[in-house]
Amino acid sequence: MQDVELRIVDGPDKPDLQWAVAYPDRHLHIHFDTQTDAVAAHLDRMDELGDGTQFRLYGHLVSGEYKGWRFVGVYDFGARSGVIRAEAPR
């Protein structure tokens, strides 16, 4: 399988993402609406990209066609949009 890019058209707010990263033992899932479907993700880490509204996200998908795939994404809280680049299992 090839790696995929999912365009986020709507997603969570900043506190929801921070909560999911702060408490990994609770297995909290974050939901993103993409251009084609909704997906849930488990976040391992998020890094601020400068202005406080954009973050790089790291984790794995827990639902949908790409369940189990690891991803790196960029997400903008102001626009509630971004992109997830999911890597096919090797």
Question: pTM for the whole thing?
Answer: 0.91
How confident is the model at residue 27, as a pLDDT? 78
Tokens 């790696």 correspond to 3
Contact 16, 24 (CB under 8 A): no
* Coil, helix or strand at residue 53: coil
31 three-class SS: strand
User: How many Å apart are CA 59 and CA 66, to the nearest integer?
Assistant: 13
pLDDT band for position 87 (50/70/90)? very high
| H helices present in 1-90, as ranges | 14-22
